[in-house]
A = this chain, B = another copy of it.
Amino acid sequence: MSAPTSPEPVQLVPGNTLLTKTPEEGRQLAVKMARLIIKATQPDAAVRERLRPIYAEDPAMLIAIGQTVAQEFATIAAANNYWR
């Protein structure tokens, strides 16, 4: 029932680089990297789908997701020397 449906290892860093052309792309990478950790921890797509409406309508969890993305983005921004 809750058996993993994607047993192949999840790629955790899309493109295998932290370098992006723009801050916008860096932010998108931060969002993706945050999601991929969730995916690696809960590989069952059906479970993740069931959890989605729970966190998407819970303000505390939405705020926590924002904190995760902020942390990932800090690293990506430093890697890109802040796109200065």
A interface residue numbers (CB < 8 A to B): 2, 11-13, 16-19, 22-24, 26-28, 31, 33-34, 37-38, 40-42, 47, 51, 53-75, 77-79, 82-84
Contacts and interface: CB of A to CB of B under 8 A. Distances in A.
Given A17-B83, A18-B83, A73-B75, A2 B40 contact: no
A70 B18 CA distance: 13
How many copies, total?
6
A68 B77 contact: no
12 contacts: A12-B27, A37-B70, A38-B66, A55-B60, A60-B64, A63-B64, A64-B64, A72-B73, A74-B75, A75-B77, A78-B82, A79-B84
Given A41-B56, A72-B70, A74-B74, A11 B31 contact: no
A57 B42 contact: yes
